[in-house]
Amino acid sequence: MRLRRCLIVPVIVASLAFPVAHAAELQQTRDGVTLAYQDTSGSTAADVRDRIIATFFATYPRERRDFHPSAPSTVRIVMDPSYDGVAYVGEKDQSATITINPRWLEKHPNDTDLVTHEAMHIVQGYPGYASEQAPSWLVEGIADFARDHYGVDNGAGGWALPTQVKPEHKVDSGYRVTGAFLKWGEAAHPGLVKALDAALRSGRYTPSLWKQHTGEDLPTLWDAYVAQRGGTARGA
């Protein structure tokens, strides 16, 4: 509902309590990275927009520095009301564009660390997504590993890596399940995730890399992880 202008005091109070969404096309550069933010429909409240931008600059430059310094230095974030998912990174000429469904943020306004996950996909830049050289479960697991490690306020968004293994969990479940496994593996074998990331980016990933970097094959590692977490799941 739009308030009439003649109600001067209520308009001021409402604006302070409920930030109004306005169409926006902004560009900012920090730490050698330029972000172009586009919301032509004015679908996102100003405070959420500001937190999205702040989260991007708090996370992408660090992900880029640590994993792939030559990743794109110019990124676009587009708010698209016609998209019915949560968020995604495009391919080819859109490979440095994060598209977000603003209706998701209307329902989950504190889930701005979704940008941290998507920004990691830009850093990854792996060829052949969902192929033997870049299995989707591992790609998404690394992105959630990054969200856990670099995220600004995952707790506010109700997001966390699982601390227990459920019967339906497998190493190739992807996303948070694989992310938690990678966090465990990285703690035991520092450098593991960066080694996997580099191999995926160069198209050299094979399952044998797990044994090369940890001394154990992937199913054995998963079984050890499950045993430590008190679960009953079985690996891939």
Q: For residue range 142-168, list pLDDT tens digits in order.
A: 999 999 999 999 999 999 999 999 999
Domain edges within the chain: 22-125, 128-236
What's the whole-model pTM score? 0.88
Asked if residues 129 and 136 have their Cβ atoms less than 8 Å apart, the reply is yes
**pLDDT higher than 60, residue 236:** no
Q: What is the pLDDT at residue 21? A: 58
Q: What is the pLDDT at residue 17? A: 39
What is d(CA 45, CA 48) in angstroms, rounded to the nearest whole number? 5
Pick from 75, 70, 6: which is nearest to 35 by CA?
75
Q: Tens digit of pLDDT for each residue in 175-189?
A: 999 999 999 999 999
* C-alpha torsion angle, residues 221, 225, 228, 229 (rounded to 10): -170
The stretch 107-131 carries a mean pLDDT of: 95
Cα 175 to Cα 19, 190, 194, 226: the distances in Å are 32, 20, 17, 17
3-state secondary structure 41-76: CCCCEHHHHHHHHHHHHHHHHHHHHHHCCCCCCEEE
| Cα 41 to the center of its chain, rounded Å | 24
- For residue 170, what pLDDT band results from cuts at 50, 70 and 90? very high
**pLDDT higher than 80, residue 98:** yes
The stretch 96-108 carries a mean pLDDT of: 96
Between 218-229 and 175-188, two packed helices, what is the crossing angle to 10 degrees? 90
Q: How many CB atoms lie within 10 A of CB 90?
A: 15
Residue type, 23: A
Residue 152 DSSP label: S
Q: What is the pLDDT at residue 16? A: 37
Q: Tens digit of pLDDT for each residue in 51-94?
A: 999 999 999 999 999 999 999 999 999 999 999 999 999 987 78
Q: Tens digit of pLDDT for each residue in 2-45?
A: 333 333 333 333 333 345 556 789 999 999 999 999 999 999 99
* CATH of 22-125 given 1.10.390.10, 1.20.58.390, 3.40.50.720, 1.10.1040.10: 1.10.390.10
Q: What is the pLDDT at residue 1? A: 38
Residue in the structure block whose two tokens are 């940890």: 214
